[in-house]
A and B are shown apart, each in its own frame.
Chain A
């Protein structure tokens, strides 16, 4: 034993001294190894951290650990990050209660949340509509004898103001573009709305004028009244419990048993907020969070330009009183004599780096309190129209209870684009057979004397064949409207069938109806793949053929993102170490050739081949261990620094991947172990060929070295 150790000592000694004797070569080889192991440590630590944080994001926002849907579905399920607007075509699972029972029979399943994903164009909060509705209401009350004269006059004034703004806007557009940019019909309509005749008889009989204004004038102001909303129908209570990062920002959660809608805060800000205010926020973010300057950022300049040209959005909101107030405030702030509020606003929004902060505060402190910052306010009714599975338009009116975020993911649109609605309303929009609907079908059956009505037939009966453009059918109180026109018409709720918004539902309905998919929260996330198998087996046994997929798969491209980065990392590591292998190998071969006489001498003196092999191996490993450890150490240091400082999430995709505003990667022993293993393997492999060379050296070569 001691003999071996002593021999090893000599081997190490010779090896180390050889390394020292050829310092330059050692340093070059060592440098490559150092860089390689550093890259592996830092790279794997970063990717692992992103993986962990992203999985937190995905699992904690909508996906859960596992998503389950019917195996009969045409499409594969993705719950987020889908590139297209269309939701996947899934076959509903009819009985959620049975599904839940089946899933809970798998030991690792902790909770099941019913889900359905869909999207709809939603008409919401056209300023003119809102004003006209108020005016209509006031006119009605005034005629009924209530004392609302002052408010009535003010609102009437506001409408006339709106007409003036629209008229000026049209003139503008015609001047900038061309005469034909706006149809003559619209020009005439605005002219009529501004005419004295229309308003002369308004006080005595307002309804024809209101009808005209609603139908012809309101659509002209519809610059941004269509919202595209993706929504998730779910058991909101169960959802909040299972996804505990969910937090209500404004308003309140949807009360149990109530229909309702919760805006994702991100959507609420990006789509519902006054565009001017949103752009001011973005400019503010750009300056304060991303250290941009107006002078140098074209993006910020573009937003400023838009704010100065699109003051109409604000102008429409101003009645006579507010106009006066704005004029006074802006004249004071700008030190201007200008009387035209539109021009004052444009001037006000023409900000630069010096005055931005002041104007930003002025806007929110002084101007905003007089404006509706959000087109849809918490407490408002939202009318959602959606195509059912069989292609009919169905509409549901829901109260907006509030807005929510997923904690830590506030600024990610990937996590923030899904709004929430109660499962019962979702089923209605989706075209499922809810109990109310079933009752109606029953009535139709009775009326038609039919025995059986299929789901499709029932829907056809219920919603009317709208594509025929005429024949309204049973149960529908709405006017027949052409679909294209439907989209243009903007008065919310005008085509409402039945207002169920205030009708509560029996919470038991959540359980009984159908669902499209369900999120499964497991107890032990380490056993997801086994649990997936168990779930599919349980589904098959219960007669509910299921597909169960991991959160990675359910999150589509987003989930595969980390896999992609990992692949890129591994490939670059592979390339670096392949290069390292070649270089180390060459260096060792050269060293071996140079040392032929010495090797021959050792052989002649009585060293066995394995002695030489060990010697070369030790040389390679020594370089590997020394520089590999140095690299790993340096890498650990770098990870430590990054951990302390954090990598800022420069955009919302990174925000999602980092599960927050900054990534604080941490080092795990695995990162170092992997790095050192690779380095050692590469070192060992690279000494094979020189080793073989050395073994072939015959001792005679040493004795002839004088030749």
Chain B
């Protein structure tokens, strides 16, 4: 099976002044194409750190990260940026939309950066996606005029607009009420099925695991285990024995 992401024995230390904080300690993880992988773990366990390394916005202290066949440690700044632009889509925990641009322009932005399509092609693609996430009528609005759930949909649309092979979502439901959260997860799952896009998302919300093809459980910067969604749910939402 083809691994779109391969993390091998990765450690990541943060230097806080004199203190070295180990965020990840020898993590290894393979993600196959088309997976809908959840990363679970309590706060501070290293979920965001791991996603950052996979998303090429950070580099490991040791070990290797391979994304779409490219070892990120060997790439330069420009190539990493290109990899982010063409291969990876991000859905941020706090949406991170460009406040001065409209919904449509926010979603169009990665396409523009790619400089590969005509204005008409872009227009069609953006509207198609907005349709898909159900906020087409808001295309002219500014992000500040939308609700949290609507903003998250815009963020999803922006992450998917370039048809990336890999979408990384950091706690996509954390800022949403449960109904909206469920809707968003349904949408992501649907896209995962229809577009064969690989999803990796972090969460410590047990209800979310039900959607995942597998759940990787992190604790103290180490991979505890990798279980099926059913197993994870059966474990009662406390997969690593510590209350969230």
Contact between chains at B81 and A700 (CB < 8 Å) = no
Contact between chains at A598 and B98 (CB < 8 Å) = yes
A487 at the interface (CB under 8 A from B): no
Contact between chains at A602 and B57 (CB < 8 Å) = no
Q: Which residues of A have CB within 8 Å of B119?
A: 6
Q: Which of B27-35, B86-94, B187-195, B235-243 contacts A (4 or more CB under 8 A)?
A: B86-94
A651 at the interface (CB under 8 A from B): no
Contact A605 to B100, CB < 8 A, known contacts A611-B113, A706-B93 = no
Number of interface residues of A (CB under 8 A): 33
A608 to B86, CA, bound (A): 12
Q: Which residues of B have CB within 8 Å of A10?
A: 105, 109, 112
Contact between chains at A6 and B92 (CB < 8 Å) = no
Interface members, chain B 76-102 (any A CB < 8 Å): 77-78, 81-82, 84-86, 90, 92-94, 96-101
Kindly identify which residue among A3, A608, A703 contacts B78, using a CB–CB cutoff of 8 Å: A608
Contact between chains at B110 and A605 (CB < 8 Å) = yes
Contact between chains at B113 and A7 (CB < 8 Å) = yes
A705 at the interface (CB under 8 A from B): yes
Contact between chains at B81 and A608 (CB < 8 Å) = yes
A601 to B93, CA, bound (A): 12
Interface members, chain A 1-42 (any B CB < 8 Å): 2-4, 6-7, 10, 13-14, 17-18, 20-21
Closest to A3 in B: B115
Interface members, chain B 46-61 (any A CB < 8 Å): 48, 51-52, 55, 57-58
Contact between chains at B101 and A13 (CB < 8 Å) = yes
Kindly identify which residue among B52, B82, B84, B99 contacts A605, using a CB–CB cutoff of 8 Å: B84
Contact between chains at B82 and A606 (CB < 8 Å) = yes
Contact between chains at A4 and B115 (CB < 8 Å) = yes
Contact between chains at A703 and B57 (CB < 8 Å) = yes
Contact between chains at B98 and A698 (CB < 8 Å) = no
Interface members, chain A 377-420 (any B CB < 8 Å): none
Q: Which residues of A have CB within 8 Å of B113?
A: 7, 605-608, 611
Q: Which residues of B have CB within 8 Å of A608?
A: 78, 81, 113
**Chain B proximity of A109: nearest CB distance (Å):** 64
Contact between chains at A703 and B92 (CB < 8 Å) = yes
Contact between chains at B52 and A703 (CB < 8 Å) = yes
Q: Which residues of B have CB within 8 Å of A706?
A: 93-94
Kindly identify which residue among A13, A18, A598, A700 contacts B57, using a CB–CB cutoff of 8 Å: A700
Contact between chains at B158 and A17 (CB < 8 Å) = no
**Chain B proximity of A614: nearest CB distance (Å):** 12
Contact between chains at B115 and A605 (CB < 8 Å) = no
**Chain A proximity of B43: nearest CB distance (Å):** 12
**Chain B proximity of A133: nearest CB distance (Å):** 96
Contact between chains at B101 and A14 (CB < 8 Å) = yes
B116 at the interface (CB under 8 A from A): yes
**Chain B proximity of A103: nearest CB distance (Å):** 67
CB 8 Å contact bits of B104-127 with A (1 = contact, 0 = none): 010001101111101100000000
A530 to B100, CA, bound (A): 59
A704 at the interface (CB under 8 A from B): yes
Q: Which residues of B have CB within 8 Å of A537?
A: none
A391 to B99, CA, bound (A): 89
Q: Which residues of B have CB within 8 Å of A603?
A: 57, 81
Closest to A608 in B: B81
Q: Which residues of B have CB within 8 Å of A373?
A: none
Closest to B96 in A: A601
Q: Which residues of A have CB within 8 Å of B100?
A: 14, 17-18, 20-21
Do most interface residues of chain A lie in helix, strand or loop, or is the interface mixed? helix
Contact between chains at B98 and A606 (CB < 8 Å) = no
Closest to B117 in A: A3
Contact A705 to B158, CB < 8 A, known contacts A4-B115, A17-B101, A608-B78 = no
A395 to B230, CA, bound (A): 129
A92 at the interface (CB under 8 A from B): no
Interface centre among A2, A606, A611, A705 (most CB of B within 10 A): A606
Q: Which residues of A have CB within 8 Å of B170?
A: 703
A539 at the interface (CB under 8 A from B): no
A17 to B116, CA, bound (A): 25
Contact between chains at A2 and B109 (CB < 8 Å) = no
A688 at the interface (CB under 8 A from B): no
Closest to B108 in A: A10
Contact between chains at B58 and A605 (CB < 8 Å) = no
Contact between chains at B93 and A605 (CB < 8 Å) = no
Number of interface residues of B (CB under 8 A): 35
Closest to A8 in B: B112
Contact between chains at B110 and A606 (CB < 8 Å) = yes
A699 at the interface (CB under 8 A from B): yes
**Chain A proximity of B38: nearest CB distance (Å):** 18
Q: Which residues of A have CB within 8 Å of B86?
A: 606
Contact between chains at A606 and B81 (CB < 8 Å) = yes
Closest to B51 in A: A703
Contact between chains at A3 and B116 (CB < 8 Å) = yes
A600 to B82, CA, bound (A): 15
Closest to A605 in B: B110
**Chain B proximity of A612: nearest CB distance (Å):** 11
**Chain A proximity of B170: nearest CB distance (Å):** 6
Q: Which residues of B have CB within 8 Å of A7?
A: 112-113, 115
Contact A2 to B81, CB < 8 A, known contacts A604-B90, A703-B48 = no
**Chain A proximity of B77: nearest CB distance (Å):** 8
Contact between chains at A700 and B82 (CB < 8 Å) = no
**Chain A proximity of B140: nearest CB distance (Å):** 14
A702 at the interface (CB under 8 A from B): yes
Interface members, chain A 250-309 (any B CB < 8 Å): none
Closest to A705 in B: B94
CB 8 Å contact bits of B181-201 with A (1 = contact, 0 = none): 000000000000000000000
**Chain B proximity of A595: nearest CB distance (Å):** 9
**Chain A proximity of B27: nearest CB distance (Å):** 17
A704 to B109, CA, bound (A): 21
A17 to B57, CA, bound (A): 27
Interface centre among B48, B90, B93, B96 (most CB of A within 10 A): B96
A112 to B52, CA, bound (A): 84
Contact between chains at B48 and A605 (CB < 8 Å) = no
Q: Which residues of B have CB within 8 Å of A20?
A: 100
Contact between chains at A598 and B84 (CB < 8 Å) = no
Contact between chains at A700 and B58 (CB < 8 Å) = yes
A290 to B86, CA, bound (A): 77
Q: Which residues of A have CB within 8 Å of B114?
A: 606
Kindly identify which residue among A598, A609, A700 contacts B99, using a CB–CB cutoff of 8 Å: A598
A33 to B115, CA, bound (A): 35
A705 to B85, CA, bound (A): 20
Contact between chains at B116 and A605 (CB < 8 Å) = no
A699 to B88, CA, bound (A): 13
Contact between chains at B96 and A699 (CB < 8 Å) = no
A604 to B113, CA, bound (A): 12
Contact A14 to B94, CB < 8 A, known contacts A3-B116, A606-B86 = no
Q: Which residues of A have CB within 8 Å of B98?
A: 14, 598, 601-602
A597 at the interface (CB under 8 A from B): yes
Contact between chains at B109 and A605 (CB < 8 Å) = yes
A597 to B98, CA, bound (A): 9
Q: Which residues of A have CB within 8 Å of B94?
A: 705-706
CB 8 Å contact bits of A570-604 with B (1 = contact, 0 = none): 00000000000000000000000000011011111
Closest to B97 in A: A601
Q: Which residues of A have CB within 8 Å of B112?
A: 6-7, 10
A385 to B24, CA, bound (A): 106
Contact A605 to B158, CB < 8 A, known contacts A6-B119, A17-B100, A703-B52 = yes
Nearest 6 CB-CB pairings of A with B: A606-B85, A3-B115, A17-B100, A699-B57, A601-B96, A706-B94
Can you list 10 pairs linking A and B with CB atoms under 8 Å apart? A3-B115, A10-B109, A600-B96, A604-B92, A605-B90, A605-B109, A606-B82, A606-B86, A609-B77, A702-B92
Given contacts A10-B112, A607-B81, A705-B92, 5 further A-B contacts (CB under 8 A): A13-B101, A601-B96, A609-B81, A703-B55, A703-B170
B residues sitting closer than 8 Å to A (CB atoms) are: 48, 51-52, 55, 57-58, 77-78, 81-82, 84-86, 90, 92-94, 96-101, 105, 109-110, 112-116, 118-119, 158, 170
